[in-house]
Structure 1
Amino acid sequence: MTAEPTEVLAEADALELLHHGRIEIEGRLADASNTTLRAEITLHGLTRRCVYKPVRGERPLWDFPDGTLAGREVSAYLVSRATGWGLVPPTILRDGPLGPGALQLWIDEPEAAEGLIGFVPAYDVPQGWFPIAAARDDDGDAYSLAHADDPRLARLAVFDAVINNADRKGAHVLYAATGAIHGVDHGVSFHVENKLRTVLWGWTGRPLPDEAVSTLHALTACLDGPLTGELEEHLTVSEVQHVRLRIKRLLRAARFPKPPTDWPAIPWPPV
């Protein structure tokens, strides 16, 4: 039986499809800096789209010399799954038409989906949004980079602090038809040095929500179990240790982190 494309797959079914499905490449996503391919994947008559990022298409990064970007994508999913927040779409590492790579379930965004991050006229920042940075267009008109004060984005901000995401652009946030939001493109995460770079600075210095605190405690418990071993399949031992350290610091401060002073706080382009 072939499921309709709009039908939501259970996580276990999505992972089964990604692990064992037949991959047929549709084309390349031209805006990506590394080889990023959209593909169809089929198993037992069920077909979905996915994103395939082969390791052989990765450009070396001087500040991420260890492991692979694909491994970091998978690691981000493993941490997301452990939080229970479902922020990162199901992602695995497997062999594909161009060799081993990260395979991630494709998220379809409704045409009418309203984004929660972007540039808005400086005089017309929506109520309930945080202005993050000032900008001007080619005509000199003033704009603000801003995002909504939305609990789903707040979860993502905490998640990014845990994995030390160095590239949370507005375009890396997807809005599913279910009302959930998803973060994608986590290849430059998990560095041992503080490289947090994001557009989600609206809660800077504010207390963490109680839900986030309890989730971080639960995540620490997961690291005492199988999660550490799963992450060490893709990250260095030191990188995994620093996940635990970042969680410890977040819990000790009980506040959203502040922008770094020795590293650009906002990625470019921001959206």
Structure 2
Amino acid sequence: MPAPERIPPGRVSAAAPVDPLLVLTEGQLAVRGRIREASNAVLYCSASYEGEEVHCVYKPVAGERPLWDFPDGTLAQREVAAYELSEALGWGLVPPTVLRDGPYGEGMVQLWIETDPEASLLALVETEEPEEGWKAIGFAEVGEGRTALLVHADDERLRRLAVLDAVINNGDRKGGHLLPTAAGRLYAIDHGVTFNVADKLRTLLWGWAGERLPGEATEALTALTASLVAGGPLATRLGELLTLAEVEAVRGRVKALLESGRYPVPSGEWPSIPWPPV
């Protein structure tokens, strides 16, 4: 795959007066650059449709590196499935995402989000307990034999994201996947290693582990159950992207969350925090 031109500095706002999903789905993709720090091929693109243009990320299936615990060539579908489930919950936590053909074959195309550099959702503090408004994740080595407490914000948007991650069985929720915007929205990206039948939950958002789910989460999960029944709209859509066993596992995780009424806790059978964490 030839290296595209260098990505221009800064993130470009993708706001458009038309539905961005339409532009992402029907627009002509043009590669503008490559995000080289990503483990798989990730291309920065523009999508143009009837005079409208948005900026987006394109991850071709051909650029996916094989993983031992996921079927080859399925990461793009899982990214789209995460978007569909986020929308079904009504929280809009995943940027608009579609599966389509592109310059390097079929792949995931996702709206590019401009982030707020001043927003702070993670921090390292040299105390043993987090301050009010923060939740503890764990202690981290910071050099010279010193440790610091890694914390995340006690934020309603992160609370919702922790529920979404539990439902999709996210195996890689890192700090760099959190995209807060200047308008106060929070988006989350990089959902390729999700929807495994086996418990793979690895996340930085353990601050509410074992705590009761808020009422809005219970209501959203209850509504999700109706859409996940065989023949339901979400079950049908997920069935186009995942295996039958993986869709059934989603139902099982939603049921378990509703029965416990609590945020999940680390299983102890799998590393609970991704590496590197940010």
Superposed counterparts of 1:21-36, under 5 Å: 21-36=27-42
Residue matched to 2:21: 15
Residue matched to 1:253: 260
Deviation readout 1:187-231 (Å, 9 max, x if unpaired):
000000111000000001100000000000111111131111111
Superposed counterparts of 1:92-241, under 5 Å: 92-112=98-118, 114-122=119-127, 125-224=130-229, 225-241=232-248
Aligned partners of 2:25 and 2:98 also within 8 Å: yes
- CA–CA separation in structure 2 for the residues paired with 1:231 and 1:168: 21
Deviation at 1:138, TM superposition (A): 2.1
User: Normalised by the size of structure 1, how large is the TM-score?
Assistant: 0.93
- CA–CA separation in structure 2 for the residues paired with 1:165 and 1:234: 16
Deviation at 1:82, TM superposition (A): 0.4
Residue matched to 2:9: none
SS at match of 2:235: helix
Aligned partners of 2:14 and 2:54 also within 8 Å: no
- CA–CA separation in structure 1 for the residues paired with 2:179 and 2:14: 17
Distance 1:67 1:7, change over 3 A: closer
Deviation readout 1:77-97 (Å, 9 max, x if unpaired):
010010110000000000000
- CA–CA separation in structure 2 for the residues paired with 1:75 and 1:8: 23
Deviation readout 1:40-61 (Å, 9 max, x if unpaired):
1111222111000000000111
Q: Percent identity?
A: 53
Superposed counterparts of 1:42-121, under 5 Å: 42-65=48-71, 68-112=74-118, 114-121=119-126
Aligned partners of 2:13 and 2:113 also within 8 Å: no
SS at match of 2:40: coil
Aligned partners of 1:66 and 1:236 also within 8 Å: no
SS at match of 2:191: coil
Please say which of residues 57-66 and 233-242 is displaced more in the overlay: 57-66
Q: Which blocks of at least 5 consecutive residues in structure 2 are unaligned?
A: 1-11
The number of aligned residues is 265
Aligned partners of 1:50 and 1:105 also within 8 Å: yes
Aligned partners of 2:170 and 2:200 also within 8 Å: yes
SS at match of 1:81: helix
Deviation at 1:132, TM superposition (A): 1.0
SS at match of 1:122: coil
- CA–CA separation in structure 1 for the residues paired with 2:16 and 2:124: 33
- CA–CA separation in structure 2 for the residues paired with 1:67 and 1:7: 28
Deviation readout 1:21-76 (Å, 9 max, x if unpaired):
11111111111100011111111222111000000000111101265100000000
1:263 and 2:270 matched: yes
- CA–CA separation in structure 2 for the residues paired with 1:188 and 1:56: 16
Amino acid at match of 2:196: H
- CA–CA separation in structure 2 for the residues paired with 1:55 and 1:118: 34
- CA–CA separation in structure 2 for the residues paired with 1:7 and 1:186: 20
Amino acid at match of 2:191: H
Deviation readout 1:96-121 (Å, 9 max, x if unpaired):
00000000000001333x12123333
Amino acid at match of 2:237: E
SS at match of 1:137: strand
Aligned partners of 1:38 and 1:52 also within 8 Å: yes
